[in-house]
Amino acid sequence: MRHTGTLTPQFFVTAPQACPYLPGRQERKLFTALHGQNATALNDNLSQKGFRRSQNVLYRPTCSECSACLSLRLPVADFRPRRSQQRTLKRNADISRRILAAWATEEQYGLFRDYLDARHADGGMAEMDEIEFSAMIEETPVRSRVIEYRTPAEDGNRLIAACLTDILSDGLSMVYSFFDPTVRGRSLGAFMILDHLRIAAEAELPFVYLGYWVPGSPKMSYKAQFRPFEIYQGGLWRRIGDPADVDIDTDAADPQPILDQVAEITTGAV
């Protein structure tokens, strides 16, 4: 189904399908193509309105009976690591970081495959092959990087974590991260978020975007451990100190019509 506002871009809506986060729910997405000379500006603008990028598509949930998926970002200047996060940084002080062009390698795919098989064997990406992985990394019309994390030379300089990251005008967007599931004690997922906060601070970028947080979904609970954070709700970014303060509507009886959503989004979109 296509929906077009008075301004470009054009928006489309997916057919309902099973929600991957909340059992018994149906999800659908509002999305638009990302290409051409305005791709960077559009990615910046819509990321600030709760959208996420997947290759050359920008999307956000627009479920007819639920509004539990909340775009979440971390304000870099206000973040203070908790004691457990300080310990995570200390445990990984020997890890080296490399910021590379968005170009897939066999080594990255091997790590990605191990991660999926161990953590998300029943997920929507479980059958992704090497060609599809390369497309995920390389088919980007915006400024993207692959950030690799490796063990010290004495431990083989092994690739143990990586993240596909977009560089926005106001921050870093962690598009997709993965790590070695056999490495214990390093909390590599949390470490990559903490390190992105450091990178953003060094680059004087105000935010790190973590994608969607879904209260009540165990898969997404880790994102709320980084505080304070901001969520996009009701057309505004709201500062949250305690996740318990977040009021979500999992039974929206009167969702905003798609055309009204598009009209709000496209105002000043590019």
For residue 245, what pLDDT is reported? Answer: 84
- Which CATH class for the 73-245 domain? alpha beta
DSSP 187-231: -HHHHHHHHHHHHHHHTT--EEEEEEE-TT-GGGGGGGGSSSEEE
Give the three-class secondary structure for 88: helix
How high does pLDDT run on average in the chain?
91
Confidence of residue 255 (pLDDT cuts 50, 70, 90): low
Give the single-character DSSP code of 131. H
For residue 247, what pLDDT is reported? Answer: 75
**Cα–Cα distance measured from residue 99 to residue 42, given in angstroms and rounded to the nearest whole number:** 24
For residue 253, what pLDDT is reported? Answer: 44
For residue 3, what pLDDT is reported? Answer: 47
For residue 7, what pLDDT is reported? Answer: 44
For residue 249, what pLDDT is reported? Answer: 61
Per-domain boundaries in the chain: 2-69+248-266, 73-245
- Mean per-residue pLDDT, 68-83: 96
Contact present, 159 and 149 (Cβ < 8 Å): yes
Angle at CA of residue 163, ends 157 and 169, nearest 5°: 130
- State yes or no: pLDDT of 189 exceeds 70: yes
